[in-house]
Chain A
Amino acid sequence: MKAFTYERPATVQDAAKLVAERPGATFIAGGTNLLDLMKLQIETPATLVDVNRLPLAKVEDTPEGGLRIGALVRNSDLAAHPRVRKDYAVLSRALLAGASGQLRNKATTAGNLLQRTRCYYFYDTAMPCNKREPGSGCSAIGGFTRIMAVVGTSDHCIATNPSDMNVAMRALDATVETMNPDGAMRSIPMADFHRLPGDTPQIETDLRKGEIITAVTLPKPIVGTHLYRKVRDRASYAFATISVAAVIAAEGNGRVGSARLAFGGLAHKPWRVAAAEEALVRTGSADAAADAVLKGARGYGANDFKIPLTRRTLRAVVAQATRA
């Protein structure tokens, strides 16, 4: 770990300014991912800007009937929040499927949005990795790919976003609220928040230098059965091989009134394809939806199984949601 300077600014804007102005400065909240990365010198911030004491830990109803979740709301608290449990169960379920109790107690909403890939090669500084060291190459391509992406990949990176929460947030059409160093606020739809790797896999989100997440806003609740299906070999404390966040309103007779489907473990970002939801509503067929989700999908060897697994899991999820 490289020696670093520690700062604890008094206001949100001060925090944003500090990170914008200081070279190599970064925010720290729960630290459940960042500290590990620092110990391995995958991340080497010169300054840590501790945001834990900023007033961003509230969960509030919005005038539109939605929910505004402060950036510092801990994953455990968010999963247990009565309104989340009642109106956004898919989020509660996704959160509880992730990490361990201890980690969820520390991890924050904004930190979870920003958690970095678990790609084995990203985690070993001896290995080439375009995400860690742009231009050095991608060791995962041609390597052990069991946890890698099958859609939205590039020749530069095939890593996945490991978060469970993000998948549910994407299904719920969440919006990320931020403040810039000049005090200007911005709203970023979840669809645009995470990026595909392209030829800049080191850039993972739409955030600008110093831009600080203040909250995540959920629109008013949607009707339907909320499911989060995480598929993994180990029953607990394992990242998803793939996962499905679904909110499906069944109308009986196998018909689907509305559907939201987002997928984890498939791509560099939570994967949601509008055509898949339309196909499910139009045809009631999970396979038709899976075709749209997996359009252009390709395996890299050890992760080939994710393609049939996604199809099969989606079938099971749709069947569960439409069961009387």
Chain B
Amino acid sequence: MEMNQPIGRTPLDERPDGLVGRPLDRVDGPLKVTGRAPYAYESRALKDPAYGYIVTATVAAGTITAIDATAARNAPGTILVMTHENVPEQGEKKEQVWPQLQGREVLFYGQPVAFVVAETFEQARAAALLVKVNYDRAKPKGLLKENRGAAYEPKPMTTSPTVKVDSALGDFDGAFAAAPVQIDVEYTTPTQIHAQMEPHATIAAWETGPDGDSVVLYSANQMPNRGQPALGSVLKLPPEKVRIVTPYIGGGFGSKLQALPEATLAALAAKVVKRPVKVALTRQQEFHVGTHRTDTIQRVRLGADKDGKLNAIAHESWSDTAVGDTFYETSANVTRSLYAAPNRITRHRLVNLNMPIASSMRAPGEAVGQLAFECAMDELAERLNLDPIELRIRNEPSEDPEKKIPYSTRRLVDCMKEGAARFGWDKRGKPGATRDGQWLVGLGVSAAARQNPLKPSSAGVRLGPDGVLTVRMAMTDLGTGTYTILTQIGGEMLGLPPEKVRVELGDTNFPKAAGSGGSFGAGSAGSALYVACDNLRQALAAKAGIDPATATFSDGAVNAGDRSVSLTDLAGPDGIEAKGEIKPGELEKKFAQYSYGAHFAEVGVDVDTGEIRLRRMLGCFTGGRILNAKTARSQAIGGMIFGVGAALMEDAVIDPRYSYYVNHDLAEYHVSTHADVPDVDAFFLPELDDKANPLKSKGLGELGICGAGASVANAIYNATGIRIRDYPMTLDKVLKGLEERETQRRT
């Protein structure tokens, strides 16, 4: 199926009480809580593995002058020390999958410079620490703000080549200059680390068959079908000779969209030692060997009339990545579609620094873009003495303001109004006016918007003689609940209970699928499964001699009128199979497709210490059909909590002398704990988007983080009257504002 026409009425519309949408518990939950769901590093499919450990560069720029691996090679248990001197030949870099151990040049701190393989993990680590690497150290460039002058216009993203880097409409400069009310502010956001629970891990092994070599990787990977050509390029194999198996993933947040060096090194070493090699990054290595969300500088200019109607919008973003890389943060992309204004520009600039490789992290673009833009909107509302919700209502566009096409659905204003009512937004006071004991209390609001893409996916289904529907696809579940929603879709389409549906994911031997990323996983994979099930329904109905148009599927049978034929009979001893495929089509060009929401945050700021504590938070969202009320809510509040961390604490601090992240462990890189998120809730307004996909659903995995931190930042302003434009908003920054104000009062 290609999405060229809005989907009409579907079997999922027939049963409002059906399986889809129910808050079904995770079907893989019991396996996970009892330790029977093997993650990559725990797989026992490959026998007798050796253990690898990565030696990383301890300088951020320069040249390796010598590597002395003698002690490491002589250490107990060492099998191989691989360096640039003896690494097997590799092919071309593809996307962000780089050949490893290439030459003497060091581009960033944490770049792998050697790989030690030993009989045990402990031996590999001990030997790795014996590898002596000498460098001719160069002065590194590490700070975006110091190197902003070197920024250039990057090439469009390889993953979305048709999306422009810059955009312009009307006459921004003229309109902004003439605007009676102007906001011109610069916000900065820090480097953030994915900090997913499961580290990057791979077990790799080679096989030689009649038609040549192939490699299998048990590897935590969100998009295994994307990984095949990329790893294949580096390993000089055709994509189909790279098999990636990744049935369970302990979180990724974008860090596992592509294979990291640990996968490549495991594969290279496994070839040399002719034995499976397994490796996981340490938590400390995750910060530098792994990717991160780049820091940004963002300038937002808003020109409005005295009623708050926007006439000019500019959103410019500067970000950085490693030398030789092309990833830029698309902070301003969503601004192209969010609010009406006839004169507008967006612009992205990139700097290459001696820092690790920047890449996608949960809602790349939107997450940090809305941290800046939604605060600038709050500043405009404040200047106009206008309620920030009213400001957004006054700038609600009737169509996508840049593409000039209609929205498929858009209930942003509904989200704002409904959320405000449930949250008690009317209790918001003037900045600095609400006090509760030692706490200055404030409320903040922000819009949330995230694009909804559909990616090509396919699925295979088989109804067995036991009446069990087996679903197979190279889709992944990175902890989001994919197994569960696919169980629900398959079950409802065939009229089967969840226990009669078996979903098998995470193996590139299965039909190709989008994988998990960019909020496209559920919609894309779910739609492929929908199509496969629809095809299976046709086949079953035909076999039963029932008109597929009038057939209903329930209680393990296909029914029409008073006829009912059991599915087990129809499956027969050999079972019956079908395939399904979904592709994006014309509708993504004809309609602007986003999911929307509104965040409401209440914070307390300690008047003495400047400590900021979230008191409560509420999100009101729309995401088309909700496939599972429980996992959808979990995604939403998970994203919101992510946003709270972005607002209040997440910060990989760069020491420019060494160009590295100083606080590279989870003791000093802070993410929210339970105590930081006491009362966070989310709900969804009913919506069906018949232009998005046959499920009428939209992406939810990233919507929760979009704008979430901005609502917290705006609440801090409302609590204190102090506007901080440098994320994260830590107590020292509040304290500075409090001290300055108290000094002013005294003088």
Which one, B663, B665, B675, contacts A235 given CB within 8 A? B675
Which B residues, 124 to 158, have Cβ-Cβ distances below 8 Å to chain A?
125-126, 129
Q: Which residue of B lies closest to A320 (CB)?
A: B438
C-alpha spacing A121/B662, complex, angstroms:
7
Contact B657 A316 (CB under 8 A): no
Contact A315 B608 (CB under 8 A): yes
Which A residues, 15 to 41, have Cβ-Cβ distances below 8 Å to chain B?
39-41
Contact B674 A236 (CB under 8 A): yes
C-alpha spacing A124/B663, complex, angstroms:
10
Contact A233 B731 (CB under 8 A): yes
| Interface-facing stretch out of B3-11, B354-362, B573-581, B732-740 | B732-740
**Contact A305 B732, CB 8 Å, known A144-B653, A147-B668, A234-B649:** yes
B611 contacts chain A at the CB level, 8 A cutoff: yes
A123 contacts chain B at the CB level, 8 A cutoff: yes
**Contact A233 B609, CB 8 Å, known A3-B126, A143-B657, A147-B668:** no
C-alpha spacing A124/B667, complex, angstroms:
13
Question: Which residues of A lie under 8 Å from residue B58 when comparing CB positions?
Answer: 126
Contact A309 B670 (CB under 8 A): no
Which one, A121, A147, A309, A316, contacts B438 given CB within 8 A? A316
Question: Which residues of A lie under 8 Å from residue B125 when comparing CB positions?
Answer: 1, 39
Contact B662 A309 (CB under 8 A): no
C-alpha spacing A143/B728, complex, angstroms:
19
Question: Which residues of A lie under 8 Å from residue B675 when comparing CB positions?
Answer: 234-236
C-alpha spacing A146/B611, complex, angstroms:
15
Question: Which residues of A lie under 8 Å from residue B122 when comparing CB positions?
Answer: 1, 3
Contact A233 B668 (CB under 8 A): no
A92 contacts chain B at the CB level, 8 A cutoff: no
**Contact A316 B673, CB 8 Å, known A1-B125, A144-B653, A233-B731:** no
Question: Which residues of A lie under 8 Å from residue B672 when comparing CB positions?
Answer: 234
A312 contacts chain B at the CB level, 8 A cutoff: yes
Q: Which residue of B lies closest to A44 (CB)?
A: B129
B248 contacts chain A at the CB level, 8 A cutoff: no
Contact A236 B676 (CB under 8 A): yes
CB distance from B236 to the nearest CB of A (A): 33
Contact B730 A316 (CB under 8 A): no
Contact B736 A235 (CB under 8 A): no
C-alpha spacing A207/B622, complex, angstroms:
63
Contact B739 A308 (CB under 8 A): yes
Q: Which residue of A lies closest to B110 (CB)?
A: A126
C-alpha spacing A234/B644, complex, angstroms:
11
A127 contacts chain B at the CB level, 8 A cutoff: yes
Q: Which residue of A lies closest to B613 (CB)?
A: A235
B655 contacts chain A at the CB level, 8 A cutoff: yes
B717 contacts chain A at the CB level, 8 A cutoff: no
Contact mask B648-668 → A, CB, 8 Å, 1/0? Answer: 110001010110001111011
Which one, A3, A120, A241, contacts B668 given CB within 8 A? A120
Count residues on chain A whose CB falls below 8 Å from chain B CBs. 37
C-alpha spacing A127/B608, complex, angstroms:
36
A297 contacts chain B at the CB level, 8 A cutoff: no
Q: Which residue of B lies closest to A142 (CB)?
A: B657
Q: Which residue of A lies closest to B125 (CB)?
A: A1
Contact B662 A235 (CB under 8 A): no
Question: Which residues of B lie under 8 Å from residue A114 when comparing CB positions?
Answer: none
Contact A231 B731 (CB under 8 A): yes
C-alpha spacing A40/B284, complex, angstroms:
10
A232 contacts chain B at the CB level, 8 A cutoff: yes
B639 contacts chain A at the CB level, 8 A cutoff: no
C-alpha spacing A302/B728, complex, angstroms:
14
Contact B611 A118 (CB under 8 A): no
A208 contacts chain B at the CB level, 8 A cutoff: no
A238 contacts chain B at the CB level, 8 A cutoff: yes
Question: Which residues of A lie under 8 Å from residue B649 when comparing CB positions?
Answer: 233-234
CB distance from A270 to the nearest CB of B (A): 19
Which A residues, 203 to 239, have Cβ-Cβ distances below 8 Å to chain B?
231-239
Question: Which residues of A lie under 8 Å from residue B610 when comparing CB positions?
Answer: 309
C-alpha spacing A250/B352, complex, angstroms:
60
A2 contacts chain B at the CB level, 8 A cutoff: yes
Which B residues, 612 to 653, have Cβ-Cβ distances below 8 Å to chain A?
612-613, 648-649, 653
Contact B670 A312 (CB under 8 A): no
C-alpha spacing A144/B659, complex, angstroms:
12
**Contact A233 B739, CB 8 Å, known A41-B129, A120-B663:** no
A313 contacts chain B at the CB level, 8 A cutoff: yes
Contact A234 B735 (CB under 8 A): no
C-alpha spacing A39/B284, complex, angstroms:
11
Candidate in A118, A139, A232, A312 with the most chain B CB atoms within 10 angstroms: A312
C-alpha spacing A244/B579, complex, angstroms:
66
Contact B608 A313 (CB under 8 A): yes
C-alpha spacing A124/B664, complex, angstroms:
9
CB distance from A255 to the nearest CB of B (A): 22
| 5 A–B pairs (Cβ distance < 8 Å), ordered by A | A235-B613, A235-B675, A305-B732, A305-B735, A316-B438
B interface, CB within 8 angstroms of A: 58, 76, 122, 125-126, 129, 284, 438, 608-613, 648-649, 653, 655, 657-658, 662-665, 667-668, 670, 672-676, 728, 730-732, 735-736, 739
